[in-house]
Amino acid sequence: MKIEATPLKDCFIIHDTVHGDARGYFIETFNQRDFKLASGLEIDFVQDNQSRSSKGVLRGLHMQKGSAAQAKLVRVLEGAVLDVVVDLRKGSPSFGQHFSIELTAENHKQFFVPAGFAHGFVVLSESATFFYKVDKFYEPGNEVGIMYNDKDLNIDWKLPTSELIFSEKDKTLGSFAEYAASL
């Protein structure tokens, strides 16, 4: 496991070692001891989640707030997504900044998203299977989000708006300015 820092504090790209031969491949996708040694962070994941989506589906930007804030370890099992995070931790040196990375089944990259970050992704391939671990259980009353097209964040989702598909809930998310004012 090789951990690469991103411009956002405590947010990492994880490059796993792929052991492959004529039979296929093997990857150790998470090792708590190695992660702590490389990142300095101790994480206890409590739940795994998986979704499958079609091209253009945009899920996000979501997060849990307060004591329900979740750290996530995300990866793609099939297809390709553009994964995006926004640091919403009050007092963080990277507060209000975003970072994006393409995660694919072929590149085997994983992305560690710290608690206090809004997270979302858009499917770039015909379909994608997205898998992630979280360190806290979901609490519906603590869910917040920011609109994908927030003018202050100015995120490039790599697809034209006309090709994006949203849930009804995601169409009603607030702005970054509204969230920042609530802190």
Residues serving a catalytic function are: 62, 132
What SS3 state is found at 152?
coil
61 preceded by a cis bond (ω within 30 of 0): yes
Other CB atoms within 10 A of residue 128 CB:
24
Cα angle 64, 3, 85 (rounded to 5 degrees) comes to 30
Residue 73, phi then psi, degrees to nearest 5: -120, 115
What SS3 state is found at 36?
helix
What SS3 state is found at 179?
helix
Task: Give residue for tokens 């707030």.
Answer: 65
Greatest C-alpha distance within the chain = 56
Cα–Cα distance between 97 and 147 in angstroms, integer? 15
Cα–Cα distance between 143 and 140 in angstroms, integer? 5
